[in-house]
Amino acid sequence: MPFTFLFAEVDVTSPFPQYAYLGFDYDPLDYYFIPGLRRPWNDGYLTPVFFERGVLLYYNNHPDYSVKLTSFSSGNIYHQGKPMFSWGFGLNRGGLLFMWLGDLAEDFTAEKERDRKRFLASNVASDHDLVSKFYRSQLPQTPEEAFQESDNEVKVFDLKNQFDERIRRDFGLEISKIDIDRLTDYYRPPILEDRDQIFNAYLSLTKYLLETLQTENLKKALIARGVLESALKGLGSLKLLELFVKTVLGLPGEKTIMTPLYVLYDLRILQGHLAIDSFAAKYDSCKDRLQADRNLSDLSFFQVVVQALIQCFTTLLGYPVPQTMGSG
């Protein structure tokens, strides 16, 4: 029966009949109680509909689809490079995916009936939590909320590209073998609290951030600044980058700066040894070095690692302006 909300009659026994054909379960009270959702000119459009996050697995592993998480709490699905949803989706603090009821009506056209049924099978009851970058960007209260920066791997890739470009501009030096934008088209973010998914993501991040380094160019730049060639023998890409940061870029405290990259490399090594007896101790060591709680879940620690990488490349990108330009 109807109830009174702000002196208006709301019939919750037959909410938003224009969307009934979709078949989704939702709580109409969310629309009336959660700030910013009511739209008298388009009643019910911004009603959140919730889904199990696992629905993304199909698309993340299908060759014709990809899942792009623009932050830890927002993203979209792409089909052959084109967005599947006009406005994407949110990921709330409880790990549920949510979208607006009106958007679902517009995006699930007849051609996407299979996708609608797939989402319908993953539809769950509302937990009434919309806290996410998606929610704040869709209903912004400030310009900063409307144009939010990413807080996940997308930000890492962007900063890495900016760093490579600045080195190219300041020193005429190519330090990466390939534009990381091309590689990230194939990057598969971890979707669930699943150790294999998460450690495979560490493997991919290591490939993109470290294994693409032009070690020979780094060596040439170091030798040009007085480092003996004999001192560079046997050094891998990460050690060479660390020496480059200290000798060429002149950044102080380089070990602290580089710690996230060393932790990432060690996690990549652990990726191939998930079942060994020493795994737990080595994994704890990685958490300790980033000052993270050892009891964090794998997915929560993954977010810590990514945040640390963002800080790492932000610091690297801010190196002092060199007094002399060119490759030396």
Contacts 24+ apart (CB under 8 A), 160-165: 160/208, 160/209, 160/313, 162/313, 162/317, 163/313, 163/316, 163/317
Q: 122: closest CA among 58, 50, 61, 59?
A: 50
Residues 162 and 102 in one domain: no
Rounded to 5 degrees, φ, ψ at 3 are -125, 165
> What mean pLDDT do residues 256-284 have?
92
pLDDT tens per residue across span 300-315: 999 999 999 999 999 9
Q: How far apart are CA 51 and CA 311, in angstroms?
A: 32
3: exposed, middle or buried (Cβ count in 10 Å: 0-12, 13-18, 19+): exposed
Question: Does the pTM exceed 0.85?
Answer: yes
Residues 90 and 26 in one domain: yes
Q: Find the Cα–Cα–Cα–Cα dihedral 184, 188, 192, 196, rounded to 10°.
A: -120
Q: How far apart are CA 136 and CA 34, in angstroms?
A: 12
Give the CA distances from residue 100 to residues 52, 64, 152, 192, 283, in Å, rounded to whole numbers and listed in that order: 15, 25, 23, 22, 39
pLDDT tens per residue across span 101-144: 999 999 999 999 999 999 999 999 999 999 999 999 998 888 77
Q: What is the pLDDT of residue 13?
A: 53
26: exposed, middle or buried (Cβ count in 10 Å: 0-12, 13-18, 19+): buried
CB 240 within 8 A of CB 216: no
* % of the chain exceeding 90 in pLDDT: 77
Residues 133 and 275 in one domain: no
Name every residue whose Cβ is closer than 8 Å to that of residue 14 and which is 6 or more positions away in sequence: none
Q: How far apart are CA 205 and CA 190, in angstroms?
A: 12
Q: Which of 114, 146, 178 is the last residue of a domain?
A: 146
pLDDT tens per residue across span 153-186: 999 999 999 999 999 999 999 998 876 666 667 8
Is 70 in a helix, a strand, or coil?
strand
Q: What is the pLDDT of residue 166?
A: 95
Residues 313 and 213 in one domain: yes
Enclosing domain of residue 82: 3-146
Residues 109 and 252 in one domain: no
Q: How far apart are CA 77 and CA 225, in angstroms?
A: 47
Q: Which of 125, 146, 167 is the last residue of a domain?
A: 146
Residues 159 and 124 in one domain: no
Q: Which of 101, 120, 146 is the last residue of a domain?
A: 146
Q: What is the pLDDT of residue 307?
A: 97
Q: Find the Cα–Cα–Cα–Cα dihedral 67, 71, 74, 78, rounded to 10°.
A: -20
Angle ∠(259,260,263) on CA atoms, nearest 5:
85
Tell whether the torsion through CA atoms of 201, 204, 210 and 211 is positive or negative: positive
